[in-house]
Amino acid sequence: MEKKPELIPAWDAHVHLGGLPGSVPQRVAALLKHADRVGVEKIVVFMGTTWASHPTPDKFRRDNDEVLQAIAAAPDRVMGFVYLNPRYERECLAELDRCVRDGPMVGVKLWIAMTCDRPELDPIARRSGELHVPILQHAYWRVGEALVDESRPPDMAVLAARHPQTSFICAHTGNDWERGIRAIRATRNVYVEICGSDPTAGMVEMAVREVGAERVLYGSDAAGRSYASQLAKVYGAEIPEEFKRLILRDNLRRLLGPALAARGVKR
Amino acid sequence: MIIDVNVNLSRWPFRRTPCDDPRSLVATLLRNGVGQAWTGTLDGLFHRDVGGANARLAEECQRCGLGLLVPFGSVNPLLPDWHEDVRRCRQDFKMPGIRLHPNYHGYRLDDAVFAEVLQAAQRQGLIVQLVLRMDDVRVQHRLMQVADVDLAPLAKALAVVPRLPVVVLNVSRANSADLKKLAALRMFPSIAPCGREWAAWRSWSRPSPWSACCSAPTCRCFPCSRHCLSSASPS
């Protein structure tokens, strides 16, 4: 009989409600069932059951309503980030207030509505800093053409440099992680989040070497990817055990700490 | 015993990885309970002296493998006298199979030469490992952009050699077209698909250091009983 290795408790910074069947509570149940198998204690969920790259305010409010449902389905385990489209400044700020200031959400998710170095993002970045919640920005560095309005890690560095009081999460580490890590390493308020690419040996080691273990976050991109495949990037990394604990849970817990504490959420 | 059907010796040209030397690779496999690893060589993708690459592979598996590394030589059917490489793999190096990289070697699965290499493998009693991709096409090095192998013509090619054991490596969960084409191969009892990937199926209960993408989609289109564990180590 093989000995089952000890699981390290994990918080997942990047989970979606898409890619699964059923109602929002059924999707949450499925996500948590798989999370239980691999030691994922809590998940951050954002965007709705259907995605829009350039959502209207009505659409992103509906998406956020679904995330609120997800949180309500398992408030001790599901956290939410509010999804916004920076093309609608007034509506974005109102939605931030509804979901974060007055609601249970603890961060902001931005996808590909606008490249993130643009000044239109400044009001959102400022407000997020005031509310002590991070902004998770999709960032991809493709060898071919980017998607329309898609951000790359250097764009994140530009935005983050303008807002040193706000924390940013570079989702996917740009996918081309060897360039992505370099692009954000000097911008100390940007965290590296490792989700969504094929697991490749050396990724986490490079991130730890270049930005320090305290700035690296585990994420999966479930349900599009499995928790397990992305956990393997950390479990298999040649780094000390205490760094794995930071990456898998403690860094995100620290980053979200003020927002969770303000909401009385058990950590 | 865990059998990993997809590991490699030698080095990827654009990156060093933590266990890209045979001894540390074997140590990692052993530490994670792998009892047998079907082993190709990355030199087989890039070197034109494939015979030399396969000879080194056989020698290193013998010298460093602790009985765990089972060599699978490379065959590039666009090279002159490639039949001799097939023969050497079986008769000189006693390999159980060969590994094919159509996209790196420059042919498609509906090219006549692919059918020829399948038939040659069948005559020698070899397993064929067909590798669909080595790297995510979205982030490849700008000097080496290689499209994934198109699986669509495989069913027709296999009709001529229906009992040939074929292991399809590096099925991509990111490429849903792969999955649809894979489903069309279910009628061939000797086909086994592996994401680099399948490890994650197991990893739902046991995270593996090498496991890659979720294999659940491939399990939906292909019986789980025909999946193999495939780590693509050391990458």
Query: Among partner residues B141, B213, B234, which is closest to A225 by beta-carbon distance?
Result: B213
Separation in Å, CA of A91 to nearest CA in chain B: 34
Say what the pLDDT of residue B108 is. 97
Alpha-carbon distances of B147 from A28, B134, B213, rounded to whole Å: 36, 10, 19
Assigned token pair, A62: 């509906």
Helix (H, G, I), strand (E, B) or coil at B84: helix
pLDDT of residue A198: 82
Residue B220 touches chain A, beta carbons under 8 Å: no
Is the CB of residue B194 less than 8 Å away from at least one CB of chain A? no
Judged by CB atoms closer than 8 Å, whether chains meet at B214 and A141 is answered as: no
> Residue B194 has what pLDDT?
67
CA distance B48 to chain A (A): 27
| Rounded Cα distance, A85 and A91, in Å | 9
Q: Is some CB atom of chain A closer than 8 A to the CB atom of B208? A: yes
3-state secondary structure labels for all residues of chain A = CCCCCCCCCEEEEEECCCCCCCCHHHHHHHHHHHHHHHCEEEEEECCCCCCCCCCCHHHHHHHHHHHHHHHHHCCCCEEECEECCCCCHHHHHHHHHHHHHCCCCCCEEECCCCCCCCHHHHHHHHHHHHHCCCEEEEEECCCCCCCCCCCCHHHHHHHHHHCCCCCEEEEEEECCHHHHHHHHCCCCCEEEECCCCCCCCCHHHHHHHHHCHHHEECCCCECCCCHHHHHHHHHCCCCCHHHHHHHHHHHHHHHHHHHHHHCCCCC
Nearest to B214 among A7, A226, A238 (CB): A226
Q: Please, how many CA atoms are within 13 Å of residue A16, restricted to the half-sphere of its CB?
A: 22
Nearest to B209 among A37, A198, A236 (CB): A236
Which segments of B55-198 are extended strands (E)? 69-74, 97-100, 127-131, 166-171, 191-195
Nearest CA in chain A to B33: A2
Q: Which residue has the higher pLDDT, A265 or A247?
A: A247
Inspect the interface and report whether the beta carbons of A232 and B33 lie closer than 8 Å.
Answer: no
Its sign, for the CA torsion B25, B29, B35, B40, is: negative
* Shortest Cα distance, chain B CAs vs residue A249, angstroms: 16
Interface of A with B in 244-263 (CB under 8 A): none
Kindly state the tokens that stand for A55.
């959502």
Interchain CB contact of A232 with B (< 8 Å): yes
Q: CB A175 to CB B139 under 8 A?
A: yes
- Is the pLDDT at B224 greater than 80, yes or no? no
ipTM (interface predicted TM): 0.86
Give yes or no for residue A3 having a pLDDT over 70: no
Asked if A229's CB is within 8 angstroms of B214's CB, the reply is yes
Interchain CB contact of B196 with A (< 8 Å): yes
- B24 touches A: beta carbon within 8 Å: no
Of B80-89, B128-137, B220-229, the poorest mean pLDDT is in B220-229
Burial tier of B205 (Cβ tally within 10 Å: 0-12, 13-18, 19+): exposed
Residue B128: strand pairing partners: B98, B166
Interface contact B212, partner A, CB < 8 A:
yes
| Chain A residue with Cα closest to B201 | A228
pLDDT at B228 over 90: no
**Pairs of residues, one from chain A and one from chain B, whose beta carbons lie less than 8 Å apart:** 101
CA-based nearest distance B115→chain A, Å: 31
Res. A213: pLDDT tops 80? yes
* Residue-level pLDDT at B214: 36
What pLDDT is stored for residue B222 in this prediction? 58
Does the beta carbon of B145 lie under 8 angstroms from any beta carbon of chain A?
yes
CB within 8 Å of chain A, chain B residues 147-176: 172-174
Pairwise CA distance, residues A136 & A157, whole Å:
13
Chain B residues inside the 8 Å CB shell of A30: none
Range of B41-50, B141-150, B194-203 with top mean pLDDT? B41-50
CB-based contact B203 A228, cutoff 8 Å: yes
pLDDT in tens, A125-182: 999 999 999 999 999 999 889 999 999 999 999 999 999 999 999 999 999 999 999 9
Asked if A140 lies within 8 A of B15 by C-beta distance, the reply is no
Is the model's pLDDT at B50 over the cut of 90?
A: yes
Decide if pLDDT at B204 tops 60: no
Inform me whether the C-beta atom of residue B209 falls under 8 Å from chain A C-beta atoms.
yes
At residue B156's C-alpha, the angle toward residues B153 and B161, to 5°, is 125
Which residue from A143, A178, A205 is facing B138, i.e. has the nearest CB?
A: A143
Q: What is the pLDDT of residues B157-190, one digit of tens each?
A: 999 998 899 988 887 765 556 666 777 776 666 6
Instruction: Choose, out of A229, A233, A238, the residue to mutate when testing the contact with B (most B CBs < 10 Å).
Output: A229
Q: Do B138 and A144 touch (CB under 8 A)?
A: yes
